[in-house]
Structure 1
Amino acid sequence: MMWLEGIQKLRPVLMSVLFILTSQGANCRLVVSPVGSTLVNALAGTNVTLAVSYSGASDPVVTWFKGTLPVGTWTINTNFPPDIANDSRSVLEIEKDGSLTFKDVPQHFTGSYTVELTKSGHGTVSVTFNLNIYEIIQNVTLITAPQFAQEGAERFTLQYNMLQGVVEQEIWRFNGRDLQNSTHYLMEGTSLVIFGPNRTDKGSYSVTLRNPFSSMTMHKNVTVLYGPDEPIVEALPIQPFYKAGDSLILSCRAEGFPLSIPQWIFGGKILSDFHQGVLNLTNVQTSQGGSYTCSVLNEMTKEKREKNVTLKVYDRPLGSPICSVVSVNNSDLQYQCKWAGGTPEAQLSFPALSNISSGAGTFSLTVTSSANLRDITITCLAEHPIEQNTCNITAKSPRNFLPTVKTSVDSDGKIAVTIRCVSEASPQAVVSWSQGNESVITGSTYQISSDTTQLKIRSHNISTFLLAPNYTCTCRNPLGNQRKLLQLQGPTISDSSLFPNQDGTIITLTWEVPPTSVVTGFDIQMKGPDLLSHGGDYSVPKRSSKEYRIIQQKPGYARSTDVFLLDPDMTYRFRIIPKARLTDGEPSEVHRIGPGDGLSGSAIAGIAAGIPCSILTLTLLIGLIFLIFYHHKKKSNKTRYPVSRAVKTTQPKAASHNILNGGLRPPPDYNSLHQTPSERSVTLPMFVPPAPVRVATTV
């Protein structure tokens, strides 16, 4: 029992030793770790090291494995060289720290490498590296099998080959788009397989090969035998539409192998004026707009495809847009806009009234009438592909106006007085009529026009118009109203004038009547001699008349007349008598033309004709006196002969004014006194009467 007690006393000591031994064992555990990444990429032909470090034990045994196959082993710090596998001795080398170095590493040394460190009493530790050895990618080619893809074939393969290189990543693309494995594409090994190739597989294929040290991309255009592809149709120049009169071409081509021949069809007929799918259209009209069909036939596959293109030929609407506004139930306003014609019809809208409503060709928009719309200009926006245009409309209340009165005679002999009341207004004002305090309704006496602007009153008796109460017309639209009263009056001339021509042979009479006068015609009356004939002679006997007589009758709408032919040397008086059927009104003022009342026309003509005769008589009288005086003087100056005797006689001295410078005065030529006027060398003087003065006097 004593030894047991001794053991109990030594127990604390034993526990301490055990603790110390245990702690020392923990601190001496073998540990190995990689220096850097365990994934190592290297270029073939270069040196690369799989570096490790260890702790916890000295001089452990290092063993390197490629996969599960040992390739080298060594006890660190021993004098013996590492033991390297025979086929790797020229490449592998174990470093003093246990790392594995590859010299001029070939590509086939790519693989997984594991290092194990073992120490007796310390166990075994390991680290695994992945080593990838790459070569530069060179001389890559991309081939197809078969040469062309055939639509409907089972498969079509693209495959790449390269002279050398290691591919870490390959990317297949079609027309620049990355491809993925699917039911249509399969990427396996160095190939891309297309299952069931069709026309959409035509295009550019590429494969990109990559590794950490190089990259290369190869392209291949693949043509799919099909026929034909859907035609490609173009209109040139490219425009959304064409104006009538433009020129353009339509071209058609279809992708396919072999190339197909297109034809153009329009309106069910094959067009002949095209070449190699190009159709020239000059001076196109709207009738040539529509659907054109390009038909393509593949002569090898006998497949046929068609493609339509719609040609838009537009023509602008006629003129300019027209705006208007009308009344609806005399309470609302309906704005209207119209731009007729055109292909297509113009789109019309009133942006100021609504930004959601519009119409084509003709558009109207009804809004509630309000003072805010009075005298406000509203614009219609007219949009056509060729041209944008506008028109404006301003809603106005009725403005002040003057009624007009027109008088005529019906076929049954009744006087018909038409009163027209029109006020400037927009929309057009509706007119209501009343007589006194009673409304006028259509009947036998009163007739109101369909547009309500005219009231027609019919009666045989003029007193019906003159004795009736005042007529009232009221013009009204949704924005306001205007009212006018008028009283009809009998036939009256308010003003008249007379205008002669330059020769005084034609006159023009003009006259006016009051606006409310009832007039159905005019009598043109004249006082004075008869008018001349159209030949200008006096075959019509001239006579004076102190009474007015009717020379013309004019309808009620006439306001002027011409009177001809007048004798410019005579005096005439004219006046106009207004008439209301059988009732005459007061005559107009009297208008006079002629030389006046001092001398009559015959007296003036007698005086004018007597003046030349008086002058001729006076001339003959003076000539006779001269002949008598000349004869008497010649007789007193006869020649006296000398007496035959020697006695000198003295002759009486002749008067000095009877002796000529050249000798005695020659005897007179008595025969000249007996010559006729036509035989005399000197023409007797003639008296030319002055031109008559024409005077037109208006009284």
Structure 2
Amino acid sequence: MTKVDKTKRFSEVFLFLLLSCTFQGTHCELVLSPTGHTVVNAEVGRNVTLAVSFSGATDPVVAWFMKDVPVITWTFGSSPIIDGKKTNVLRLEPNGSLTFVNVSLEFSSNYTFEITKAGLKQVSTTFTLNVFEIIQNVTLRSEPDLVIEGTDRFMLEYSMSQGVVQQQTWFYNGREIQTNSNNSKDKSLVILRPTRSDTGQYSVFLTNPFGSVTTYMNVTVLYGPEDPKIQARPAQPFYVSGDSLLLSCLGEGSPKPSIEWIFGGQNISRSAILNLTNVKTGQGGDYTCMLLNELTKNQSQISFTLDVYERPSENPLCSVQSVNNNVDLQYHCQWSGGTPQARLFFPELDNSKSGLGNLSLTVNASENLDGRTFMCLTEHPIEKNKCNITASSPLKFLPTVQTTVNFAGKIVVSIHCVSEASPSAVVLWSRGSEAVTNGTTHQISSDTTQLQIRDYNVSNFLLQNYTCTCKNPLGGQRREIQLRGPSISNSNLFPNQDGTILTLTWEVPPYSVVTGFDIQMKGPDLQSKNRYDAQSKGKSNGFQTIQWKPGSARSADIFDLNPKLTYRFQVIPKALRTDGEPSEVHRIGPGNTNTNRFNSS
């Protein structure tokens, strides 16, 4: 719009006002009012308008003042006069409002809009324009860098790369700090006479109408070292030779004080914890802990006296054993070593007898001792201790039988008879009415709990009745074992859903002598070679061995069956070359007359 156009536009506005007064036939008076807020906030670089409306007079003189200095004047019929330094920013609107284009910080001020007309009362209205820049890159720093307890003060001050702060609020550990002229100045917070309780996180919250920023800083108030302590773990009035303990030196301070241990005039460690392992009497004495604050250079120290004595090694041991040809019981208590030796006694067995380091008491075995617990009390100047022992007769048990083949090709049958007892039971073996002794055929283990029988022919084991008797002075338990030839007590067949694979399972009587099993089949050829490299040569009316399993096995898998054909299976238990009675015959397949696909016959 040209200057002439602007003048024409302003003239049109005032002509409208003049005609309004004339046609109404009234006496016009100046009326002026703001049409928006009188306090206006603006962001740097934006456009903002101070809006007004007026009426009641023709060709008045209009002026805008920045504080008391006119920046725009205008008279009816002429162009507005704008301060030459502000022509790029200020713009007078046709209705008298003042617009700031791309406003900058320097235009924050109070503005007055004034209308003057000869013969009429002058009217005006006032605005406040606040121009803000967005706050950015706020940082905090402490003065001085090291804050020490007991000094006069320290100060936190913030700086920023740009921004206008309308309000600042300081916080300590998230709580607002109530500031006054003594502790708050422009961009800073002052803490008088700092103490360790002033350690924490400080933050400043800066805000204006167009944004806010919070900046944090952790402040540590240095102090100490003070209140030094030495703690021993475990805490005891004295310690035993061979013990291990920790001496920890503690002292308050910030930063954490450094530690130096001194013993016998020598520096022995710089660790806060002194680890003393397997201590000896020569390590007793005074241990001094020196504490140093590396930043403030303040020192403190404390000493600890360590007393070390000898004690018996380990813990007392109680035991009971059979004596006098497995007739009497001997209770024994031992706690060797120590200075002096520990005194030991069984108060419930014989309170009149005691021993130093070792004590043995022999008593006649009787039923009232079975399952009864006796305590051995041990007394030593350093420590009182105890141990318990319970004698018990053998409990009922079940023998176990295991069959193997040794490197010489002999069958080895191992019979185990183990019964829980205290003292341990002695096992006596017999065959029929004769005692079994070590020899070529029979071998008894050194602890007497196992008997091995070796022979080439299983028939030599059959109809042999072996007896094991577990005995100690309080009683005994007796069990008979009747060995039998290779046999199977139960068997089952489990096919898969489509009848192409089956699993054959079987059980063996507890005292049966078995070294292996033949898995046999009767029926047509399998569809392909099975997984165990056994292949039938053609359809046969007799059973054929298709797999062999060791004596420990209790199942076999058979593959590649034709579900449309009928097969029969059985298991033959073996003891080397001796065959036992076969298991029941299990059939799988459609059969001739039976519609049930899976059947045993």
TM value normalised by structure 1: 0.40
Q: Work out which of the two has the higher radius of gyration on C-alpha atoms and give 1 or 2.
A: 1
**Higher helix residue share:** 1
**Higher strand residue share:** 2
TM value normalised by structure 2: 0.45
